[in-house]
Copies of this chain bind each other. A is one copy, B any other.
Amino acid sequence: MTSMAAGQHRVAEVSFGARLGAAMQSHGRLCVGLDPHPQILSDWGLTQDAAGLREFCARVLAACTERVGVIKPQVAFFERFGVAGLQVLSEVQAQARESGLLVIADAKRGDVGSTMAGYAEAWLNPAGDFAADALTVSPYLGFGSLQPALDAAQEHRAGLFVLALTSNPEGREVQLATDPQGVTVAGRVATAAAAANVSAAAAANVSAATATATQDHPVDAAEDLGSIGLVVGATTAELAGAHGIDLSTGSMPLLAPGYGAQGASAEDLRRGFGACYSRQVLVNSSRGILAAGPRMESLTSAIDQALEDLS
Give chain A's interface residues, CB within 8 Å of chain B.
35, 37-39, 74, 76-77, 79-84, 86-87, 90, 108-116, 118-119, 121-122, 128-130, 138-145, 163, 166, 168-175, 177-179, 184-185, 188
Contacts and interface: CB of A to CB of B under 8 A. Distances in A.
9 contacts: A35-B115, A37-B115, A74-B115, A79-B118, A79-B122, A83-B86, A86-B86, A141-B168, A177-B184
A90 B82 contact: yes
Given A108-B111, A109-B108, A118 B174 contact: no
A286 to B, nearest CB: 10
Given A111-B108, A114-B37, A175 B140 contact: yes
A114 B290 CA distance: 15
B185 A170 contact: no
Contact of A76 (B37, B116, B141, B144): B116
Given A37-B114, A174-B177, 10 more contacts: A35-B115, A39-B114, A76-B111, A80-B121, A110-B110, A142-B171, A143-B173, A145-B170, A177-B178, A185-B185
- How many copies the complex holds: the figure is 2
A158 to B, nearest CB: 15
Contacts of A172: 142
A93 to B, nearest CB: 11
A81 B110 CA distance: 17
Given A82-B129, A87-B83, A108-B110, A77 B141 contact: no
Most buried by B among A35, A39, A110, A172: A110
Contact of A83 (B37, B90, B114): B90
A165 to B, nearest CB: 11
B141 A174 contact: yes
A140 B142 contact: no
Contact of A140 (B74, B113, B139, B169): B139
B168 A185 contact: no
Contacts of A35: 115
A113 B81 CA distance: 17
Contacts of A171: 140-142, 145
Contacts of A184: 177
A166 B141 contact: yes
Contacts of A109: 76, 108
A168 to B, nearest CB: 5
A178 B178 contact: yes
Contacts of A178: 177-178
A8 to B, nearest CB: 15
Contacts of A185: 173-174, 177, 185
